[in-house]
Amino acid sequence: MPLTGKNTIASEVSAEGAEVFYSIDPRSKTTGDLPFHNATRNEVDRAVVAAVAAFQEIRGYPSSKIADFLTEVAAQIETLGDDLLHTADRETGLGLPRLTGERARTTGQIRAFANLLREGAYLRAIINTEQPGQPAIKQMQFPVGPVAVFAASNFPFAFAVAGGDSASALAAGCPIVVKAHPGHPATSELFAGAINAAVAAKGFPAGTFSLLQGNGIDVGQWLVAHDGIEAVGFTGSLRGGRAIYDAASRRPRPIPVYAEMGSVNPVVITQAALAKRSEEIADGLVASVTMGTGQFCTNPGLILLEDSEATRDFIASVSEKMDAAPTGILLNEAIAAGLQSAVSETAAHAQIEVLAGAEAIADSDFFCYRNTVMQTTAAAIRADDRLQVEHFGPVTLFALCADINDLRATIDALEGNLTSTVHAEEAELESIGDLLHQLREKAGRVIWNGFPTGVAVVHAMQHGGPYPATTAPGTTSVGMNAIYRFMRPIAFQNVPDALLPRALQDANPLGILRLVDDVYTDGAI
Amino acid sequence: MPLTGKNTIASEVSAEGAEVFYSIDPRSKTTGDLPFHNATRNEVDRAVVAAVAAFQEIRGYPSSKIADFLTEVAAQIETLGDDLLHTADRETGLGLPRLTGERARTTGQIRAFANLLREGAYLRAIINTEQPGQPAIKQMQFPVGPVAVFAASNFPFAFAVAGGDSASALAAGCPIVVKAHPGHPATSELFAGAINAAVAAKGFPAGTFSLLQGNGIDVGQWLVAHDGIEAVGFTGSLRGGRAIYDAASRRPRPIPVYAEMGSVNPVVITQAALAKRSEEIADGLVASVTMGTGQFCTNPGLILLEDSEATRDFIASVSEKMDAAPTGILLNEAIAAGLQSAVSETAAHAQIEVLAGAEAIADSDFFCYRNTVMQTTAAAIRADDRLQVEHFGPVTLFALCADINDLRATIDALEGNLTSTVHAEEAELESIGDLLHQLREKAGRVIWNGFPTGVAVVHAMQHGGPYPATTAPGTTSVGMNAIYRFMRPIAFQNVPDALLPRALQDANPLGILRLVDDVYTDGAI
């Protein structure tokens, strides 16, 4: 099916507005031919109204029916074939190997949610049977209603139209209205086609899914302000996420915003680790910083070390390797401009020394920025929050600590992050514990002797963290628990078995694990 | 120990400020002798700083140590003896039987949290073992840090200084700074003494608990705005809760607010139920509306019925019984004034007919308001949101529906509520299902053939609901799951066993239920 450049509202294409924008190939900075139509306020309204209507049906669906739908979405994405990969590569410059892997991750996590639904314990069924003076109370998780999803630029598959937010919201039983990222509108339209095909194949209501295009802030603001939206999933910048959070908080009826907004992902490297694995750590760090041209929210952007000759040698080595590493392609002009602006501001700071890069490449055919290494002191980090700003690209900042107390005071002064990392040796296990737990308070995931890039899509994953990493540190946007952002518990008091969802019926017809009178069991009552 | 009228900051009494207020006996409207000191901004700061310091220690405590502390808190509350009951009765007029029951509920829920901690599965340990190409990821729940708790007026024990918010936050491992309700400052000080005694007995850091007195809005605003506070628990009015929510959302670093703000708790009664149990339902309804002088967030404030002769008879009967029921004592002057203002405004509405009450009793010795019944049409409810306002007192509003479609359209137009209730007959089970699930979308708890007042403190309880009932419909403020408002997941990647909390160690030394490679097990790895 040829691309239309239009929005998709409840399975119908729509282009009411006159404002258009174009896809740009970051490898050549050339503009595509197809105009993409910014959604109008009326189109936003139509999409949400359709989602509200769809929810009236979907909310009654059993988990198994939603699981079948998700499985079909994954299959339909695969049916898009190489066209999807090539389209996304043209729009993002991420390359076919990466995109092939990301596609597998995307369909994999959709199928993982389908499996979660079929297994059933995710409903968190809790039952207290009737006792003298106490009614029977039975609760489980239900979908919250229509969800607005804001797609990210840096993962055109895994955090976009059919990415983790969409998969978890659909798995929860919520219709979704997706605001596509303007960096990859054609890719977004392909995904819309796949989801709509699954909607049709499984007989879901058309309003289950809508896609809104837009290269400004209006579409997102209209969407979040719409009374029919019950929750928001967002992946992107701190500025964008905070604007969405503020809009949702100011509504007459506020709604939760689950915004994952990136972070500097502090890495602590002990002297013992340097003594033993300096070269290996340097190689790993450079690979992690430059992977995907540094355009990961888990990019290691702040490295804390005690000052020493070994540390200076290590930093010099990293700087050389960064300088020698190939210049990567940035996703789009906005990211290139934002990176240049952020690095320039940091580099101009009196306490910052530039060791590599920190300059744009003016005559490049593709969007890019030089791999950059900067250095400062731990005291400077503590004295100025601006040195904790994320540089979204192949950039890292070393902070030298005078001693362990300086290091620990600096960790205490860190803002919230998605991850924190320690490189240390087995011999340090006894002494490092406190520091590890201190780092824990600043992040959603703590990594030992590894690097933060690469987020395993497993049940135990926590991809979140204190603000400004996210607006909701109790939740995750990766892994199975992402579903709970879009569900809420409802309890039934003395409601007859015949009126209860099967998950709460006495016979436990689904055979799921339930907490019955404070004991976990998959038996009947 | 004699009462001081002072704040308690990290176990020390403090009265820096000159502003004072007094306890008032609602039975006699007489003012007490002891001045209570509004906390100053500096005192708020000291309390939070102490809480932050305390958290550095507490965050490393095993669940068992916190469980022992909670058990001690419960014992210390019991040690307060009858003095607690008499003091609270003087400040609230709730009466000794009710207060005796509420005390048992309060100590009971504190002990229930202790049991939850000892059992251990609440940590939600999830483990994915290392696989080819995938690191070991292990996550569990951790405390978020210092929590601000706003005590309610209507439950001086169960939703106040040592109530559900405090118990769940302490159980999570969070220090608490409690803003006492100005309606019962002496009661609050007694609870502070009990908690401080437990802090001392169990060697917890003094900053684990602070109590701030205050009869204005400043103390609360300072508290919520303080950067050391990580989350807020609030029980009270919509206006108060929204103000706290807004203040927290506007912070440079926003934090979650778990505000439970009351609701009208719609009740649907079918014609079949009326035909069979009219008298019984009328008696139950009147008891539920007048219980505690109607000062419950679960008070049934909106009754939806299809219009019929039986319905008119039923409403007349309820009105008579309400008129005949004794006039109850209201908690304080602010509640009496607020109730009068809210009912007057509703009664003045063109579509409202007053059937009983709707007037103050000018010459009463105690704070009170006449038991009130009003009537309107379902169409009027749909046309004007103001008819969904909560009247916090012995007041209920009947809305007559033309037919089932009118009823269903009205349910769709309802705002969020803590509860919704259906009275129907077994013969209607097949036809009532859709309506029940429609009501489900509007509430956190659905009640069958009962009344919403009376909230069982059991694991399956859900005391929450969509805004404006709460600001966080995915959470509960009653029952064991209340603890998750004050915890967040943290994942550990490839971290050596020796550095992990015991709940995540391979051998599973706590023997708790964990999700290991997607299978629930209490075994070792």
For B440-485, the pLDDT digits (tens) are: 999 999 999 999 999 999 999 999 999 999 999 999 999 999 999 9
Beta bridge partners of B148: B177, B232
* A154, amino acid identity: N
**What is the spatial distance between Cα A111 and Cα A74, in angstroms, rounded to a whole number?**
7
Q: Are residues B25 and B104 in the same domain?
A: yes
B149 φ, ψ to 5°? -120, 130
Task: State mean pLDDT over A177-185.
Answer: 98
Q: In this predicted model, what pLDDT tens digit does every residue of B30-75 receive, in sequence order?
A: 999 999 999 999 999 999 999 999 999 999 999 999 999 999 999 9
**What is the spatial distance between Cα A491 and Cα A473, in angstroms, rounded to a whole number?**
25
Using alpha carbons, select from B518, B265, B456, B382 the residue that is nearest to residue A119.
Answer: B518
**Domain annotation covers residue A372:** yes
> Which of B429, B484, B518 faces A498 most closely, judged by CB atoms?
B429
Find chain B residues with C-beta within 8 A of A499's C-beta: 429, 432-433, 436, 448
Find chain A residues with C-beta within 8 A of B408's C-beta: none
Chain A CA closest to residue B247: A249
Does residue B24 carry a pLDDT above 80? yes
Task: State mean pLDDT over B223-235.
Answer: 98
Quickly state the pLDDT bin for B124 (edges 50, 70, 90).
very high
Q: Are A214 and A40 in contact (CB under 8 A)?
A: no
Structure tokens at B522: 């209490």
For helices A96-119 and A63-79, angle between their N-to-C axes, nearest 10 degrees: 160
**Domain annotation covers residue B226:** yes
**Domain annotation covers residue B386:** yes
> Do A249 and B246 lie within an 8 Å CB cutoff?
yes
Is the dihedral angle over the CA atoms B137, B141, B142, B147 positive or is it negative? positive
Q: In this predicted model, what pLDDT tens digit does every residue of A41-71 receive, in sequence order?
A: 999 999 999 999 999 999 999 999 999 999 9
- State the CATH number of the domain containing residue A154: 3.40.605.10
> Do A245 and B249 lie within an 8 Å CB cutoff?
yes
- State the CATH number of the domain containing residue B328: 3.40.309.10
Structure tokens at B137: 């990821």
> Which of B491, B498, B499 faces A445 most closely, judged by CB atoms?
B491
* Counted domains in chain A: 2
Angstroms from A20 CA to nearest CA on chain B: 34
Does residue B286 carry a pLDDT above 80? yes
Q: Is A401 a catalytic residue?
A: no
Quickly state the pLDDT bin for A262 (edges 50, 70, 90).
confident
Chain B CA closest to residue A115: B518
Quickly state the pLDDT bin for B521 (edges 50, 70, 90).
very high
Best interface-test mutation with A: which of B490, B500, B514 has the largest number of A CBs within 10 A? B490
Give chain B's mean pLDDT. 97
Q: Are residues A150 and A221 in the same domain?
A: yes
- DSSP character string of A448-477: ESS-S-----STT-----STTSBS-TT--S
Percent of residues, chain B, with pLDDT higher than 90 = 98
Chain B CA closest to residue A127: B460
Report pLDDT for B386.
Answer: 95
Angstroms from A425 CA to nearest CA on chain B: 11
Q: ∠B34-B40-B41 over CA atoms, to 5°?
A: 165
**What is the spatial distance between Cα B56 and Cα B175, in angstroms, rounded to a whole number?**
10
Q: Are B332 and B26 in contact (CB under 8 A)?
A: yes
Q: Are residues B214 and B330 in the same domain?
A: no
Q: Are residues B207 and B287 in the same domain?
A: no
Does residue B304 carry a pLDDT above 90? yes
Q: Are residues B133 and B33 in the same domain?
A: yes
Give chain A's mean pLDDT. 97
> Which of B138, B448, B490 faces A493 most closely, judged by CB atoms?
B448
Which domain range does residue B315 map to? 266-448
Chain B CA closest to residue A420: B492
Q: Are residues B49 and B141 in the same domain?
A: yes
Find chain B residues with C-beta within 8 A of A442's C-beta: none
Does residue B496 carry a pLDDT above 80? yes
Q: Are residues B328 and B408 in the same domain?
A: yes
Find chain B residues with C-beta within 8 A of A250's C-beta: 249
Pairing of strands A24-25, B257-260: unpaired
Best interface-test mutation with A: which of B239, B470, B488 has the largest number of A CBs within 10 A? B488
Q: Are residues A18 and A151 in the same domain?
A: yes
Q: Is B174 a catalytic residue?
A: no
Q: Are residues A92 and A230 in the same domain?
A: yes
Catalytic residue among B260, B368, B390, B401: B260
Does residue B498 carry a pLDDT above 80? yes
> Which of A254, A416, A515 faces B245 most closely, judged by CB atoms?
A254
Q: Are residues B41 and B64 in the same domain?
A: yes
* B373, amino acid identity: V
Find chain B residues with C-beta within 8 A of A440's C-beta: 142, 490
Other CB atoms within a 10 A radius of the CB of residue A519 amount to 9
* A498, amino acid identity: A
Report pLDDT for B104.
Answer: 98
> Which of B128, B459, B464 faces A518 most closely, judged by CB atoms?
B459
> Do A449 and B494 lie within an 8 Å CB cutoff?
yes
Report pLDDT for B262.
Answer: 82
**Domain annotation covers residue A513:** no
Does residue B243 carry a pLDDT above 90? yes
Does residue B1 carry a pLDDT above 80? no
Report pLDDT for B360.
Answer: 87
H-helix segments, B202-308: 218-225, 238-250, 271-290
Report pLDDT for A45.
Answer: 98
B220: exposed, middle or buried (Cβ count in 10 Å: 0-12, 13-18, 19+):
buried
Structure tokens at B365: 């010795």
Q: Are residues A101 and A228 in the same domain?
A: yes
**Domain annotation covers residue A208:** yes
Pairing of strands A20-21, A36-37: antiparallel
Does residue A2 carry a pLDDT above 90? no
**Domain annotation covers residue A496:** no
**Domain annotation covers residue B189:** yes
Q: Chain A to chain B, count of Cβ pairs less than 8 Å apart?
A: 206
Find chain A residues with C-beta within 8 A of B432's C-beta: 499
Q: Are residues A200 and A272 in the same domain?
A: no
Look up tokens 């359709």; give the residue: A50
Report pLDDT for A362.
Answer: 80
Quickly state the pLDDT bin for B501 (edges 50, 70, 90).
very high
Look up tokens 């933060």; give the residue: A452
With a CB cutoff of 8 Å and minimum separation 6, the contacts of B82 are none
With a CB cutoff of 8 Å and minimum separation 6, the contacts of B501 are B140
**Domain annotation covers residue A192:** yes
Q: Are B278 and B284 in contact (CB under 8 A)?
A: no
Full strand arrangement of the beta sheet holding A7-9: A12-14, A7-9, A209-212, A176-179, A147-150, A231-235, A257-260
